[in-house]
Amino acid sequence: MRASRSVPLVPVLAGLLAAACCAPGAVAGPVSDAWLAAAPSVREPVRAWRRDLHQHPELGNHETRTAAIVAAHLKKLGLEVETGIAHTGVVALVKGGLPGPRIALRADMDALPVTEQTGLPFASKATAQYAGETVGVMHACGHDAHTSILMGIAQLLVDMRAQIPGEILLIFQPAEEGVPPGEEGGAVMMLKEGLFKRYQPEAVFGLHVWSTVPVGSVAYRNGPFLASADRVDIVVKGRQTHGAKPWGGVDPVVASSAIVGALQTLVSREQDLTDTPAVVSIGQIKGGIRFNIIPDDVRLSGTIRTFTPEARDRFGARVEAMAKDVARAYRADAQTSILRFAPVTRNDPALTARVLPSLARATGDPARVLVVPAQTWSEDFGAFANEVPGFFFLLGSTPADSDPLLAPANHSPKFFLDEGALELGVRALGAVALDYLESAPRKP
């Protein structure tokens, strides 16, 4: 996930949920009833897997230990396992004992270049090389929980396989947090290598633990939910000179400062924020090696977040043009490159209506199914949901006795997961999947 901060919460309207409960095919069947009853049986192994993965995090495209643990577990369950997809991805197909459709469940496995500061007894002490630097590595976004939840789901699915009407593809995805420029990875690479062409699921489901949702609750949005994410790299080229004689060169530091400020007007002055949000942020500035030398160049890196293909194209073009024009005003030059990470994650409206009753049953209280506004963080789950109808929801991870809005955010070195979220994740994602299969029309 490429994160942003607060998530205002609104309890789902009773009328909306009642309508969803009565939608065609939205049936709570005996298989999902058995599922909810069985979910506590995997509580301990799921927690143990999560703590182990948390203590041994790995960056995107390097999840070799994690992938090996997942593959070994799936093979022990008697499943045929495919490994090495998009470098380290793992998939397996659970075939039910009764005829029915095929769907997919997805979990991501990678961690972040963050040095952990939680003080947990199983806190990460791992380090790795990232962008040419030695960095701490931490599951600061909860992907250790996602992987463990799906491992628990796999175990329960196999246990009750004879009762399942259909098939469930388990996708353990690497590199959701993105990869360095020049590398490929993540959901896009899995699809490029033919994952959905081989397995052809008719729907895909996923979840994400989230700090601003309290444990015991889930949250979602119908339609466009999470923004697209693009990486922007701008090289501002000047001409080196002594700091005591700035007129002897062209200062890319001053030009870069002006570019950073000017880019903020793309949203504040060009985007209709009553229609849809957008974000342009510069998060990294690198230039120079000495206090009294004006350097040849400065490098800026940042992100663009939008909610429509048209806005995505327009903002990319405007960032490039503005950087070039502002640099020229300072006698410098700017070269811009844009790497597209993740598309918009959109919850299919019909699928959303179909799964809301499942979420209400899994939480035990319709008031714990929350509606949230569109979010400017992103998820490459959207790549899967662009291929087939998809539904993605947030799983509360902050202790119920604390204020979620004050909790350390996802991507924070202090990010904390209440492990009560793990069992609800198993309950909710499994119930969504099995209710979907049970309610599918049966072929004569």
Beta-bridge mates of residue 10: 371
Cα–Cα distance, 204 to 107 (Å, whole number): 11
Among candidate residues 8, 20, 9, the one with its CA nearest the CA of residue 360: 20
The pLDDT, as a whole number, for residue 6 is 45
Pairing of strands 228-237, 333-342: antiparallel
The whole-model pTM stands at: 0.90
Distance, CA of 185 to CA of 199 (rounded, Å): 19
Contact residues for 245 (Cβ-Cβ < 8 A; gap 6+): none
All structural domains of the chain with their residue ranges = 10-225+344-439, 228-341
d(CA 249, CA 294): 8
Contact at 8 Å (CB) between 326 and 234? no
Q: What pLDDT does 13 receive? A: 38
pLDDT tens digits in sequence order for the chain, 444 residues long = 654 444 445 444 333 443 344 343 445 578 999 999 999 999 999 999 999 999 999 999 999 999 999 999 999 999 999 999 999 999 999 999 999 999 999 999 999 999 999 999 999 999 999 988 999 999 999 999 999 999 999 999 999 999 999 999 999 999 999 887 788 999 999 999 999 999 999 999 999 999 999 999 999 999 999 999 999 999 999 999 999 999 999 999 999 999 999 999 999 999 999 999 999 999 999 999 999 999 999 999 999 999 999 999 999 999 999 999 999 999 999 999 999 989 999 999 999 999 999 999 999 999 999 999 999 999 999 999 999 999 999 999 999 888 988 999 999 999 999 999 999 999 999 999 999 999 987 654
CA distance 284 to 267: 19
Q: Looking at the domain 10-225+344-439, which fold is it?
A: Aminopeptidase (3.40.630)
Q: Tokens 């030695």 appear where?
A: 134
Block residue for tokens 């500061």: 117
Domain 228-341 has CATH 3.40.50.920: no
The answer to whether 69 and 148 are in contact (CB under 8 A) is no
- The predicted-structure confidence for 16-64, as pLDDT tens digits, reads as follows 443 344 343 445 578 999 999 999 999 999 999 999 999 999 999 999 9
**Which DSSP string corresponds to 187-231?**
HHHHHHTTHHHHH--S-EEEEEEEEEEETT-EEE-SEEEE-EEEE
Which percentage of the chain shows pLDDT scores above 70?
A: 93
Q: Can you tell me the distance from the alpha carbon of 223 to that of 390, in angstroms, rounded to the nearest whole number? A: 10
What pLDDT shows up at residue 420? 96
Place of tokens 């701008």: 234
pLDDT score, position 20? 40
Looking at the chain, the whole-number percentage of residues with pLDDT higher than 90 is 88
309, two tokens: 């293909």
Q: What is the pLDDT of residues 132-151, one digit of tens each?
A: 899 999 999 999 999 999 99
**How many angstroms separate the CA atoms of 280 and 233, rounded?**
12
Planar angle of CA 26, 30, 31, nearest 5 degrees: 90
Residue 72 to residue 81: CA distance in whole angstroms: 9
d(CA 211, CA 399): 9
